[in-house]
Amino acid sequence: MNSAIAVAGLRVLRGGRTVLDELSFEVPRGSVTGLLGPSGCGKTTLMRAIVGVQIVAGGDVQVLGRPAGTAPLRSLVGYVTQAPSVYADLTVGENLRYFATVLGAPPGDVDRVVGEVDLEEYVDSLTASLSGGQRARVSLAAALLGTPELLVLDEPTVGLDPVLRRDLWRMFHDLADNGVTLLISSHVMDEAVRCDRLLLMRDGALLAEDTPEELLRQTGTKDIEAAFLALVERRATEGSS
Amino acid sequence: MSIRCTLATARRVLSQLRHDPRTIGLLIVVPCVLMALLAWVFKGTQTFDEIGAPLLGIFPFVVMFLVTSVATLRERTSGTLERLLSMPIGKLDFLLGYALAFGGLAIVQACVASGLALFALGLDVAGPTWLLVSVAVLDAILGMALGLFVSAFAATEFQAVQFLPAVVLPQFLLCGLLVPRDEMTDFLYALSSVLPLSYAVDAMRAVTTSATVQSDTWRDLGIVVGAIVLALALGAATLRRRTE
């Protein structure tokens, strides 16, 4: 089993509307894969289906060789939602110690992840008193606890300081070098070049699935935003002919 | 089931409360103020001795219902519940963690309110004090378990608060405090017989009037415990790892 994620014919309905329509793709192990697309295109729904918290209408989602959301995956898949899902009325340390205990992570793990998201000086601060970006980092730190084999991160670097953003992307690649698979969503196309592979999404369907270099080569464009536009136009002409 | 996760959840809930001293203050002080007010209103009559003990169980029941339904609703809306359920924690671990934390608080609350009623307000009960306190604690835990369960049906805090009159007041009207249950019409009696608070009040009544513990009281307490277990089980069933 080489793929960390294997999605086949995935369909998701929400409130009677088709949000994801017959989606199929694979994500290789140990890669940093970017999930790019405009807001509302179904990125979050797809991520939720991979984590196994989304009710799906059809298709198959295999994660690390097992059906998504099954019990053995619960300590192997780290998930960071777009809105930080941590307890605002606990300190950073209390939050992370709680999640570490639930995950069965070793005691020193809290210090490690606090260092990785650069929040050492805030360990004893109440999470509610932190800025939005800092709270997002607490949420990210919680997903790094233990030994996840797959990290599903929904817009983890939005609004962060450029230096920290660079450091986080470095950490993501270090993790991937150690065999961890990362699926990272963004609606900012300029983050695409930092990924090994890209999934471009629009209106609940996959536009393209390739390396950034190959996408630029195939579309004859200079940046991913232009490539995205070229792919949308190509699809439109294919559809009308 | 994992004791580690249950205890960690209980500790976490208590830590959250520790950062919110005003809530703790309200939880402890409000039932005491209400008891004092009750004693004052019925000063010089027999009524305080008659209804003091049942109300000693009802006040913590109401307060714990409200606090838990809002606390679990917050957990659902903040995304932390979804995060937890994507982690290796059992639904029952989660609920028992809450039950343990709020149950501990209920013990403190019931002890303080009972102590005040017995020693400062002159509440006169025939039965043993430990039984009075135990029933009050059970009532508080019953309120907590029901609060956990109904929070599943509330999408907003406005709705959660509305469940208080919807779930608690009918039980209060039918529990036998306003009109003795055996004087009710058959239909109302039948209705009151399926509501757990009726048994809690019956037990409190028995503590007030009888010096010895009767078998009926044990049966009533057994029914209250059964209702707690049922509400917790139903609460666990409403926790969904997968949602729309």
- Within 10 angstroms of residue A190's Cβ, the number of other Cβ atoms is 10
> Which among B12, B84, B241 has the least Cβ separation from residue A69?
B241
C-alpha pair distances (Å), B18 with each of A162, B15, B90: 36, 5, 25
Nearest CA in chain A to B79: A85
φ, ψ of residue A35 to 5 degrees: the values are -110, 105
User: Which pairs count as long-range contacts for B155-160, CB under 8 Å and 24+ apart, including other chains?
Assistant: B156/B73, B156/B77, B157/B70, B157/B73, B157/B74, B160/B69, B160/B70, B160/B73
CB-based contact B86 A77, cutoff 8 Å: yes
- A9/A146 Cα distance (integer angstroms): 32
Is the predicted pLDDT of residue A164 greater than 90, yes or no? no
Q: Which residues contact B48 (CB under 8 A, 6 or more apart)?
A: B38, B39, B42, B121, B123
Is the predicted pLDDT of residue A241 greater than 70, yes or no? no
Q: What digits encode the pLDDT tens for the residues A217-233? A: 999 999 998 999 999 99
Residues 138-197 of A with CB under 8 A from B: 142
* Core vs surface per residue A63-74: b (16+ CB within 10 A) or e: bbebebbeeebb
Interface list for chain B against chain A, based on CB atoms closer than 8 Å: 4-5, 8-9, 11-12, 15-16, 19-20, 78-80, 82-89, 241-244
> Which among B19, B89, B243 has the least Cβ separation from residue A102?
B89
Q: In 3-state terms, what secondary structure has residue A229?
A: helix
Report DSSP state, residue A126.
B
Å between B22 CA and nearest CA of chain A: 13
Residue pair A168/A148 in contact (Cβ under 8 Å)? The answer is no
Q: Which residues contact A222 (CB under 8 A, 6 or more apart)?
A: A216
Enumerate the residues of chain A whose CB falls inside 8 A of the CB of residue B80: 85-87
ipTM, two decimals: 0.88
Nearest CA in chain A to B19: A89
In sequence order, the β-bridge partners of residue A183 are A33, A152
Residue pair B5/B89 in contact (Cβ under 8 Å)? The answer is yes
Q: How far apart are the first and last CA of chain A?
A: 39
> Which among A14, A74, A83 has the least Cβ separation from residue B86?
A74
Mean pLDDT of chain B: 90
Is the predicted pLDDT of residue A2 greater than 90, yes or no? no
Percent of chain A with pLDDT over 90: 80
Is the predicted pLDDT of residue A172 greater than 90, yes or no? yes
Is the predicted pLDDT of residue A1 greater than 60, yes or no? no
Percent of chain A with pLDDT over 70: 99
Nearest CA in chain B to A69: B86
Asked if A70 has any chain B CB less than 8 Å from its own CB, the reply is no
Tokens matching residue B216? 């009926």
Q: What digits encode the pLDDT tens for the residues A41-86? A: 999 999 999 999 999 999 999 999 999 999 999 999 999 999 999 9
- B229/B221 Cα distance (integer angstroms): 12
> Which among B8, B241, B244 has the least Cβ separation from residue A98?
B8
In sequence order, the β-bridge partners of residue A17 are A14
pLDDT of residue A221: 92
pLDDT of residue B117: 92
Enumerate the residues of chain A whose CB falls inside 8 A of the CB of residue B6: none
pLDDT of residue B238: 84
CB-based contact A52 B242, cutoff 8 Å: yes
**Domain-by-domain residue ranges, chain B?**
3-238
pLDDT of residue B3: 93
Å between A60 CA and nearest CA of chain B: 15
Q: Which residues contact A137 (CB under 8 A, 6 or more apart)?
A: A117, A118, A119, A160, A164
Is the predicted pLDDT of residue A105 greater than 90, yes or no? yes
Nearest CA in chain B to A56: B244
Q: What digits encode the pLDDT tens for the residues A5-41? A: 999 999 999 988 999 999 999 999 999 999 999 988 9
**Residues with pLDDT less than 50, chain B:** none
- A94/A80 Cα distance (integer angstroms): 18
Nearest CA in chain A to B82: A53
Is the predicted pLDDT of residue A240 greater than 80, yes or no? no
pLDDT of residue A30: 95
Mean pLDDT of chain A: 93
- The dihedral through the CA atoms of A128, A131, A132, A133 has a sign that is negative
pLDDT of residue B146: 92
Enumerate the residues of chain A whose CB falls inside 8 A of the CB of residue B70: none
Tokens matching residue B132? 């009075």
Q: Which residues contact A214 (CB under 8 A, 6 or more apart)?
A: none
Q: Which helix (H) or strand (E) holds A59?
A: strand A58-63
Is the predicted pLDDT of residue A130 greater than 90, yes or no? yes
For residues A173 and A158, the model is more confident at A173
Q: What digits encode the pLDDT tens for the residues A91-102? A: 999 999 999 999
pLDDT of residue B154: 86
In sequence order, the β-bridge partners of residue A54 are B243
- B130/B196 Cα distance (integer angstroms): 21
pLDDT of residue B242: 87
Asked if A228 has any chain B CB less than 8 Å from its own CB, the reply is no
- B103/B142 Cα distance (integer angstroms): 9
C-alpha pair distances (Å), B228 with each of B3, B98, B141, B196: 20, 13, 7, 9
Å between B73 CA and nearest CA of chain A: 13
